[in-house]
């Protein structure tokens, strides 16, 4: 499965191999604005010589659509070779399944080929994908907590702690909490496009560090130091839109199947900035007649 190079194409057909040259832009924008070929079975493709003028008119009409409409529309070839104009948003579940099975027969191989070809397309038009460098400098995190038997979750401790907190608020009784250092003067850099493995013994502050980097620390903790994303500190943007912390205790709804859970997660996540990137890729390819 690989996008066809349509920089120098001419013709009007949608079937067969791609050869020759053609004036203008003839690339299909269907969802990701790409033309895919899967091991000889061409799903989204265009031929240099074909006598079917109706298909050529369909392509010409698709090329005149606005950018965002062109991203969602394309021509899909059936098993008998007949082409039909489709809207990606209107494809049913079975049609999506059949299309993906034709595009990705061997997941490990075809996914890699698709991503490599997409990367080549992005590099060809000069789009710089956004990257994030995370820095934490002189990070210190401390907490006030009860130690020993006072820290046990018993009813007596609960009532005692409640009364003590009330008296502390009225400045009648000093607090018996002790200051515990969780992280002390740590610094580091997490480079983009790299997988980072965090190792440490239990209760060494791994979770606290990850929460600090994701901007989800508890407000009761005392934090000093600096955490920045590309030079911007956490109060300058919304870190939850850039980074996410996934707890080791992942809760699931028992009534949902695995497929339903994944589909629900995909809908919640959405495409983010990737849709804008594909739209920009479509505009630049059209401008360069690719």
Taking the domains of the chain in order of start, what are their residue ranges? 37-129+276-287, 134-241
Per-residue pLDDT tens digits for 252-275: 777 888 888 877 877 777 666 777
CA angle (229, 230, 235) in 5-degree steps? 45
Are 13 and 1 in contact, with CB atoms under 8 Å apart?
A: no
pTM equals 0.55
The pLDDT, as a whole number, for residue 151 is 75
Are 28 and 35 in contact, with CB atoms under 8 Å apart?
A: yes
The pLDDT, as a whole number, for residue 78 is 61
The pLDDT, as a whole number, for residue 195 is 86
CA nearest to 71, candidates 28, 113, 37, 108: 28
Cα separation, 132 vs 127, in Å, equals: 16
Quick one: three-class SS letters along 103-120?
A: HCCCHHHHHHHHHHHHHH
Are 245 and 216 in contact, with CB atoms under 8 Å apart?
A: yes
The pLDDT, as a whole number, for residue 21 is 37
The pLDDT, as a whole number, for residue 13 is 36
223, two tokens: 């934090």
CA nearest to 14, candidates 73, 65, 74, 71: 74
Radius of gyration of the chain (CA): 28
The pLDDT, as a whole number, for residue 68 is 61
The pLDDT, as a whole number, for residue 140 is 93
The pLDDT, as a whole number, for residue 83 is 63
Cα separation, 121 vs 290, in Å, equals: 10
162, two tokens: 């409640």
> Residue 47 phi/psi, 5° resolution?
-100, 155
Burial of 217-237, coded b for 16+ CB within 10 Å and e otherwise, reads beeeeebeeebebeeeebeee
Measured in whole angstroms, the distance separating CA 274 from the mean position of its chain's CA atoms is: 7
Instruction: Please list the ranges in the chain whose pLDDT falls under 70.
Output: 1-85, 107-108, 250, 270-272
Which is it for the CA torsion 280, 87, 260, 103, positive or negative? Answer: negative
Task: State the DSSP string of 69-129.
Answer: HHHHEEEEE-TTS-EEEEEGGG--HHHHHHHHHHH-SSHHHHHHHHHHHHHHHHHHHT---
11: left (phi over 0), alpha (psi -120 to 50) or beta: left
């Amino acid at each position: 499965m690989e996008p066809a190079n349509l920089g120098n194409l001419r013709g009007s057909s949608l079937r067969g191999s791609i050869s020759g040259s053609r004036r203008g832009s003839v690339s299909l924008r269907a969802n990701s604005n790409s033309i895919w070929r899967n091991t000889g079975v061409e799903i989204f493709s265009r031929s240099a010589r074909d006598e079917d003028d109706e298909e050529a008119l369909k392509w010409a009409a698709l090329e005149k659509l606005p950018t965002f409409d062109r991203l969602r529309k394309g021509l899909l070839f059936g098993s008998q070779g007949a082409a039909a104009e489709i809207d990606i948003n209107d494809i049913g579940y079975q049609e999506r399944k059949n299309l993906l099975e034709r595009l990705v027969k061997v997941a490990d191989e075809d996914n890699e080929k698709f991503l490599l070809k997409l990367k080549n397309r992005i590099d060809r038009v000069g789009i710089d994908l956004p990257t994030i460098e995370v820095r934490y400098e002189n990070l210190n995190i401390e907490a006030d907590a009860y130690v020993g038997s006072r820290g046990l979750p018993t009813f007596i401790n609960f009532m005692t702690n409640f009364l003590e907190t009330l008296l502390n608020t009225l400045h009648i009784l000093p607090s018996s909490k002790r200051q515990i250092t969780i992280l002390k003067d740590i610094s580091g850099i997490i480079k983009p496009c790299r997988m980072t493995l965090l190792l440490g013994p239990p209760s060494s502050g791994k979770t606290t560090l990850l929460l600090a980097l994701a901007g989800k620390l508890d407000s009761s903790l005392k934090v000093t130091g600096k955490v920045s994303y590309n030079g911007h500190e956490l109060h300058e943007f919304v870190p939850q839109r850039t980074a996410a912390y996934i707890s080791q205790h992942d809760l699931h709804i028992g009534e949902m199947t695995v497929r339903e859970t994944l589909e629900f997660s995909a809908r919640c996540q959405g495409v983010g900035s990737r849709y804008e990137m594909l739209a920009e890729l479509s505009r630049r390819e059209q401008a360069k007649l690719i």
